[in-house]
Amino acid sequence: MKLITKGLAKEFKKIGRQNGVKDPIVIAKFFNPIGSGTWYATAFDPEERLFFGYVSIFSDHNDEWGSFSLDELESVRISSLRLSIERDIYFDPQPISKVCPKAIL
């Protein structure tokens, strides 16, 4: 699956970095299809191929805001099933408070 499309890149560019926004808009949601791991992307730098957003991997204690790499998401291979990180194609951009209330800055 293609994690970032031209249309999605345009949406990130249109919304911008959202620095200092208390309830930023999540533009894309990525997830592990067979286990824990959800990445809520609020910004994307196409030159660095880096997202910024909220990452929830193992438990509430390890969830945090930060940067994550498109290259790393694309390189993940999950078990012998040959699965990889996926983008939620049904996700519509919305404030983080709607998709993950505990992430509000």
Q: How many residues does the chain have?
A: 105
pLDDT in tens, 6-51: 999 999 999 999 998 999 999 999 999 988 899 999 999 999 999 9
Confidence label for 59 from pLDDT (cuts 50, 70 and 90): low
- Collapsing DSSP to helix, strand or coil, 95 comes out as strand
Q: pTM for this structure?
A: 0.91
The terminus-to-terminus CA distance of the chain in angstroms comes to: 31
Q: What is the DSSP string of 7-74?
A: HHHHHHHHH---TT-SSPEE-EEEE-TTSS-EEEEEEEETTTTEEEEEEE-S-GGG-EEEEEEHHHHH
Tokens 């498109």 locate to: 70
Which residues, 6 or more positions from 12, have their beta carbon under 8 angstroms from its beta carbon? 27, 28, 41, 43, 44, 46
